[in-house]
Amino acid sequence: MQQALRSVLPEKVYFMGGEPTVAGDLPAMLRFAKEALGARTCLGHTNGSRLPLPHLDGANVGLKAWDEEVHLALTGRPKGPIFDNFAAAFEAGLELKANVVFIPGLVDADQVEAIAAWLAALGRGIPFHVMGYIPVPGQPYRQPTEQEMAAVVAACRKHLTAVGSSRLSGREALDLSARDDRFAVRQIA
């Protein structure tokens, strides 16, 4: 694998899949990508529980909920360490993005806006993506309407300058490369 990566010398290397920070060899992979390839290193998606990391340049962190009880119900863990790690990574100079899933009746608009306000206290330019919940069979939650999405995005833009959103169907979520070429895969090994 190292030789295959050396043959293409990528400018950026993204680590994705499950929670990348639990991979025991992540520190060695980050070091290889940074030192041997000269690449920028990013975690494509992470829960933020182990940030910051040596040789890591950036991360896209999923912040689950502002309300402590909701965060505990969703993750089984308190929110404090996650938000503290995000702040520490930001202060360490990592290029951070944040996202949240807007779930009417669970992670409501007020919680999404509270996360945006907290992020803005660190830096108003932190990119923030609000994802509309995709209904899961057996769960009581519904997908937000287009109007609800527009309202929550507008509320977040009172705090942050870079707010995006998505409201996908289950089918669309399964084939992101059809919607966005950033998700196209090039197999090298």
Which tens digits make up the pLDDT trace of 28-80?
999 999 999 999 999 989 999 899 999 999 999 999 999 999 999 999 999 99
Residue 33 and residue 20: Cα distance in Å, rounded? Answer: 15
Closest CA to 124 of 101, 157, 152: 157
More confident residue, 130 or 182: 130
The CATH classification number of 63-183 equals 3.20.20.70
Q: What is the pLDDT of residue 39?
A: 95
So where are the chain's domains? Answer: 1-47, 63-183
Residue 169 and residue 141: Cα distance in Å, rounded? Answer: 14
138-182 tens-digit pLDDT: 999 999 999 999 999 999 999 999 999 999 877 777 776 666 555
Six token digits for residue 182: 């950033």
More confident residue, 57 or 188: 57
User: Residue 7 pLDDT more than 90?
Assistant: no
89-105 tens-digit pLDDT: 999 999 999 999 999 99
Q: What is the pLDDT of residue 174?
A: 73
Residue 30 and residue 42: Cα distance in Å, rounded? Answer: 9
User: Residue 186 pLDDT more than 70?
Assistant: no
Q: What is the DSSP letter of 23?
A: -
Q: What are phi and psi of 171, to 5 degrees?
A: -65, -45
